[in-house]
Structure 1
C-alpha cells in the first residue's frame, strides 16, 4: 500500500523529493567559493578611519597642487609702473629734440612748441605762433634759440628766455616744411619742403641766403654735419644727398635705396650717417649706415622693424665702449643696435602708441620718443650693459 507522500506526488505528477539528491561538489569548487566570499566581504567591508583620512589627504593634495599650478599659469606678471605726469601736448607729437641735460623741445598737432623738463615731469614753456601743426623742431646748442617747422609752410625761431611769440620767421616755401637743421658754426638755418626745394637762411636777419630745387626731391629730413658746411638730406625719391651749404649744391648723392628715406642723422665725429627706410610687412623698414668719407657704398644695414623706420639717431654714449644707434618705427617699437655688428641689442614695445616719428637722446643714456597716440615716452636702460630698454614715463 503506497505511503501518503507517494500518493501526493503521484497526484501532482512530480517526482518525490526523496528522489532528488544534490550533486557532489567538484574538486576546487569549495576553495573558489571561500575566496569569492572573502573578496565579497572585503568589497563590502566598511573602510577604516585611517584609510578614509589617507584617501582624503591624497585628494586634497592633488587638488591643491592643481590649483597652485593653475594660479601660477593664470596670474599675469606684475605690471610695470609707468609714470604719467602733466602731458606736453594735446594730440599727436611729431618731433622731439634734446635742449639741455634735463630739458627737451617738442612740437605736434596742437600747433604748439613746448619746452619740457622730462626729469621732473613739468612743463616749462609753451610757444604759440604756427597756424597749422608743427612738423619738426630743433635747437641751437648752448644758445637761447629754438626752431620749428610747420604745415603752414613756414619756419619760426623762438627765444627760450623771451616772450611766447616768435622772434624770427622764415617764409619762402610753397608747401609744408618737412626738414629743419641749424648750424652753430655758420649761424645758418636750413629748411626743406615737399615743394622739392632746400633753402638756407641767416638766423639773425631771416634773409634767404640760397635756394635750390631738384625735381621729385620731396624732402623728409635734414641734418647738419657737426663743424662742417655740409647738410645731409633724406628724400622721398629714395636718395640720401649731401649738400654744400656754401653754394647750396649737391656735393654727393648715395646710391638710391628701394624705399623712401624717412630720416637721417650724423654721428658726433662727422664720420657716419644713418638713414631710415619706409616699408611694411618687413619689406623695407631697415636703417642704413653710410660712411661720409667713402661715399661709394653703404657700410651696414639694420633689419628688424616690420613697419616704416620713421626715426634714427646715434646714441651719444653708445653701449659701453661700443657705438650704438637707436631707431623708432610705425610698428610701435624702439630698437637699439650695435653700430659695429648690426645686431639688435635692446627693444622696447610701446603698445598702442601708434607711429613713432621722432627720437631724442641724452648723455645720461635716456631716450625720448614722440608718438602719434600717447605723447612723449621716456625710455631708460635698466641694466649696465644696456640690453634692457624700458619705458618709465610718458607725458
Structure 2
C-alpha cells in the first residue's frame, strides 16, 4: 500500500495504545498494508534493515519490505504449514522449517524455487538456527532429535537424540560454535555444534520453555515459559559466561509467553528486552531489574507468536489473526511503544 504517510487513508483505523496519545491529541493511526499472508503467521525474522521474512499456516515464505508495505517475493515449496524462519542478518539467504518434516534454503535475489532441502526428521521441525557464516544449520524436532546440516551439500553431518527432548526453539550464540535450545521437557540446553553434544544445562524450569534468544554480545540469554492465569508465563535472564545462573525473571503476562528478544542499544535508553504472549500483549522490560517499562495491547490480534528486531527503533510482531504488526519504540516522553502499521 505504499509508504507511511501523514495523510489518513480510508483503509486505516484508529487504535489507542496504552498510555499513548500524540501531541495533537489524536490517537495513533495504524497504517493498513497489503497482507503478507492469508492465514496465521507463525514466525518472522529480519533479513536486513528493510526486509523481513515470515512463514505461516498458508505454507508460504514471504519476503516483505516493511518500510514500504510491499511484498518482495513469495516462496512456495513446503507441503504443510511453516513453523520457523531464520537467517543471518544482512544475508541474501534464509531458511524455513515446516510441519512437513523438512527445512528449506531460499535466496532473495534468486528464483522462487528451493535452493537446498534438508529432509531427515520424523516429525514436525520446530527449531531452526543458522551459524554465523551461513555454512551450517541446525534443526530440531518433536521427534526428540537435532540434526546438523551442511548448507551447500544438504548433507546431514551429525544427529543427536535425547529422550523427551521435544525441541521448541534454537538460537545460535554469536561468534561461538555453540547454540541454545529450549524444550518441552522444561530444560534450556547449550549445545556444542562441533560434536553435537550438550555442553551445559540450566536448572530445570517449572513450565515448558517455548523460545530463547541470545544478547548480541553473547553474554546473556533469555528463555520464556508456557503458562496460564499468570502461573508460569514468565521470561528468564541467564548468564552465559561463568555462573550461567538465573539473573532475573520478568513476570506480568497472563498466558504463555511465546517470544523474547533483546532490544539493541538505541532502541531503549536502558538495557531492555521485549516479550510477546498469547494474552495479546507485547511488553518491554528493564533487563536487570525485571520492571515492566511499557505494555502494548494488540486487542483482536489473536495469540502473538513471534518477535523480530528490524532496526534501532522498530519491532515486528507476528500474530494468528491479524498478520504482522510493525511497532515503533521511542523515548520522547519516557519509554513508549506504538503500533504504526500491520500487514
The counterpart of 2:284, out of the listed 336, 356, 366, is 336
Structure 2 equivalent of residue 278 of structure 1? 226
1:372 aligns with 2:320: yes
Structure 1 residue 385: deviation in Å? 6.0
Greater CA radius of gyration, 1 or 2? Answer: 1
2:71 to 94, 104, 123: 123
Match for residue 89 of structure 1 among 17, 23, 37: 37
Whether 1:246 aligns to 2:191 is: no
Q: Given the two structures, how large is their TM-score scaled by the length of structure 2?
A: 0.90
How far off its partner does 1:85 sit?
Answer: 1.1
Structure 1: tracts of 5 or more residues without a match? 1-76
Please say if 1:347 is aligned against 2:295: yes
Per-residue deviation, residues 127-178 of structure 1 (Å, max 9, x unmatched) = 0000000000011333221100000000000011111110000010000000
Matched, 1:325 2:279: no
Contact 2:271–2:287 (8 Å) recurs in 1: yes
Contact 1:222 1:264 in 2 (8 A): yes
Structure 2: segments with no counterpart, 5+ residues: 1-24
Superposition RMSD in Å: 1.4
| Counterpart selection for 1:216 from 156, 164, 181 | 164
Relative to structure 1, the CA distance from residue 113 to residue 186 in structure 2 (aligned partners, 3 Å threshold; closer, same or farther) is closer
Conserved 8 A contact 2:88-2:134: no
Partners in 1 of 2:62 and 2:267 — Cα distance? 30
Paired residues of 1:185 and 1:227 also in contact (CA < 8 A) = no
Distance in 2, matches of 1:327 and 1:386, equals 19
Q: How far apart in 1 are the matches of 2:32 and 2:134?
A: 39
CA contact under 8 A between 1:322 and 1:340: conserved in structure 2? no
- Distance, in Å, in 2 between the alignment partners of 1:379 and 1:250 is 36
**Which residue is 1:205 aligned to?**
153
SS at match of 2:339: strand
Q: Deviations over 1:299-321 (max 9, x none)?
A: 10001100000000111225544
Q: TM-score w.r.t. structure 1 length?
A: 0.79
Higher share of residues assigned helix? 1
How many aligned residue pairs are there?
Answer: 319
Cα deviation, 1:219-245, whole Å, max 9, x if unaligned, reads 000000011000100000000000000
Runs (4+) of structure 1 exceeding 4 A deviation are: 318-321
Structure 2 matches for 1:1-395, cutoff 5 A? Answer: 79-185=27-133, 187-317=135-265, 319-384=267-332, 387-395=335-343
Distance 2:88 2:145 in 1: 23
Task: Supply the distance in 1 between the matched residues of 2:333 and 2:175 (Cα, whole angstroms).
Answer: 31
